Amino acid sequence: MPELPEVQTTVSFLNKKLKNKKIEKVVVLSAKQFLGNPQKLVGKTIRRVERRGKLIVFVLEKKLFLLIHLKLTGQLVFAASLRDKKATFPEPLPFAGGKVLPGKSTRIILYLFPQGAVFFNDLRKFGWMKVGGESLLKKETAALGVEPLSAEFNPQYLEKIFAKTKRAVKIVLMDQHLIAGVGNIYANEALCRAGISPQRPANKLTAEEIRKLCRAIKEVLKEGIKFRGTSAADDAYVQPNGRQGRFQKYLQVYQREGEKCFRCGGKIKRINLGGRGTFFCPRCQR
Binding mask 206-245 for Zn ion (x = CB under 5 A): ----------------------------------------
Q: Which residues pair with 120 in a beta bridge?
A: 76, 108
Q: Whole-number minimum distance, CB 261 to Zn ion, in Å?
A: 3
Nearer to Zn ion, 110 or 281 (CB): 281
Q: Which residues pair with 55 in a beta bridge?
A: 52, 69
- Give the number of other CB atoms < 10 A from CB of residue 62: 9
Residue 263 is a binding residue for Zn ion (CB under 5 A) = yes
Which of 264, 274, 277, 286 binds Zn ion (CB under 5 A)? It is: 264
Q: Whole-number minimum distance, CB 281 to Zn ion, in Å?
A: 3
Nearer to Zn ion, 117 or 284 (CB): 284
Q: Which of 74, 11, 77 is nearest to 243 (CA)?
A: 77
Report which residue's Cβ sits closest to Zn ion.
261
* Binding to Zn ion, residues 54-113 (CB under 5 A): none
Regarding beta strands 74-79 and 117-122, do their DSSP bridges make them parallel or antiparallel, or are they unpaired? antiparallel
Q: Whole-number minimum distance, CB 49 to Zn ion, in Å?
A: 40
Nearer to Zn ion, 143 or 264 (CB): 264
Nearer to Zn ion, 87 or 196 (CB): 196
Residue 261 is a binding residue for Zn ion (CB under 5 A) = yes
Q: Whole-number minimum distance, CB 278 to Zn ion, in Å?
A: 15
Nearer to Zn ion, 155 or 195 (CB): 195
Q: Whole-number minimum distance, CB 160 to Zn ion, in Å?
A: 30
Residue 260 is a binding residue for Zn ion (CB under 5 A) = no
Residue 269 is a binding residue for Zn ion (CB under 5 A) = no
Structural contact between residues 177 and 146, judged by C-beta atoms closer than 8 angstroms: no
Structural contact between residues 54 and 177, judged by C-beta atoms closer than 8 angstroms: no
**Rounded to an integer, what distance in angstroms lies between the CA atom of residue 62 and that of residue 83?**
31
> Which one of 18-26, 145-153, 242-250, 273-281 is the stretch in contact with Zn ion (CB under 5 A)?
273-281
* Binding to Zn ion, residues 161-200 (CB under 5 A): none
Give one DSSP letter per residue of 4-49, joined into a string: HHHHHHHHHHHHHHHTTPEEEEEEESSGGGEES-GGGGTTPBEEEE
Q: Whole-number minimum distance, CB 218 to Zn ion, in Å?
A: 22
**Rounded to an integer, what distance in angstroms lies between the CA atom of residue 84 and that of residue 236?**
26
Which active-site residues does the annotation give? 2-3, 54, 276
- 8-state DSSP, 229: -
> Which one of 24-32, 33-41, 79-87, 256-264 is the stretch in contact with Zn ion (CB under 5 A)?
256-264
Nearer to Zn ion, 131 or 194 (CB): 194
**Rounded to an integer, what distance in angstroms lies between the CA atom of residue 197 and that of residue 194?**
9
Residue 284 is a binding residue for Zn ion (CB under 5 A) = yes
Those residues with Cβ within 8 angstroms of residue 160's Cβ, 6 or more apart along the chain or in another chain: none
Element (H, E) at 141: helix 134-141
Task: Please work out, in degrees rounded to the nearest 5, the angle formed at the alpha carbon of residue 196 by the alpha carbons of 145 and 230.
Answer: 60
Interacting residues toward Zn ion by CB under 5 A: 261, 263-264, 266, 281, 283-284
